[in-house]
Chains A and B, each alone.
Chain A
C-alpha cells in the first residue's frame, strides 16, 4: 500500500539552528501538507501546497518557515532559526484531490534544546 514517508523520525537541534524535515508524498497525489502537533495538543495545520506553490498557510507558518518541492518526489519543510516552542511532531500529508481526506506520514519528532 502506498504511503507517505518522512525522514528523519527524530531530530534534535539547538535553538537558533536551521532544520529541514523531509517527506516523500504518495506518488500520484497532487496536494501536500505540513501539520504539527505539540505533545498533548491537537493537530495544527501549517501549510498546503499545490502546483508548486503554497495554496494556504496558517498564522503559525511565519517567515521562519518555508516549503519546497525540490524535485518530483520530495517535499520539505525548513525552519530557519528554531525556537524552543517549535518542539513538536511534524506530520507531512498528501491527497489526490481537494478537498479530501489526506494520508499522513509517520511524523518527525523535532526537539529543540
Chain B
C-alpha cells in the first residue's frame, strides 16, 4: 500500500462549486500533514497545514482524521485560479524527518 494515496482525478467542477479531496495514509508514524498545490511544471507551493481540530484559511478547509487515517481538503466557491494539482504530504517528526508526497489530485475549474 502506498504511504500517501490520493485519487488522481481529474475533478472537473464549475466555477463557484464546492469540491473536496481526500487523502489516505498508511504510516501511523506520520505526525504532520500538509496540503500543497502544484501548477503544471511549477514548484509545489504550501497551501496549508492540517490539524485534527481542522484548519480554515479563507475558502479552504483542511481536516485530519487520525482514527481513519485520512486528510481532507475542502474548497468552497471554486475560482478558475484554483485549477492545479493538490498534493497531500505526510511528514514524520522527532528524529526522522522523512517527507512523503502523494501523487496529487488534479482539479480543473470550468467557467
Contacts and interface: CB of A to CB of B under 8 A. Distances in A.
A97 B31 CA distance: 14
Contact of A91 (B31, B44, B97): B44
Count class of interface residues, chain A? 20 to 34
Given A99-B32, A100-B49, A106 B43 contact: yes
Secondary structure class of chain B's binding surface, majority of residues: strand
Given A42-B104, A98-B93, A99-B91, A33 B42 contact: no
Contacts of A35: 99, 101
Interface in A67-113: 89, 91, 98-107
A58 B98 contact: yes
Secondary structure dominating the interface of A:
strand
Contact of B97 (A99, A103, A105): A99
A90 B103 CA distance: 16
Contacts of A41: 103
Of listed B31, B44, B98, B102, residue having the most chain A CB within 10 A: B44
Interface of B: 31-32, 34, 36, 38, 41-46, 48-49, 87, 89, 91-93, 96-104
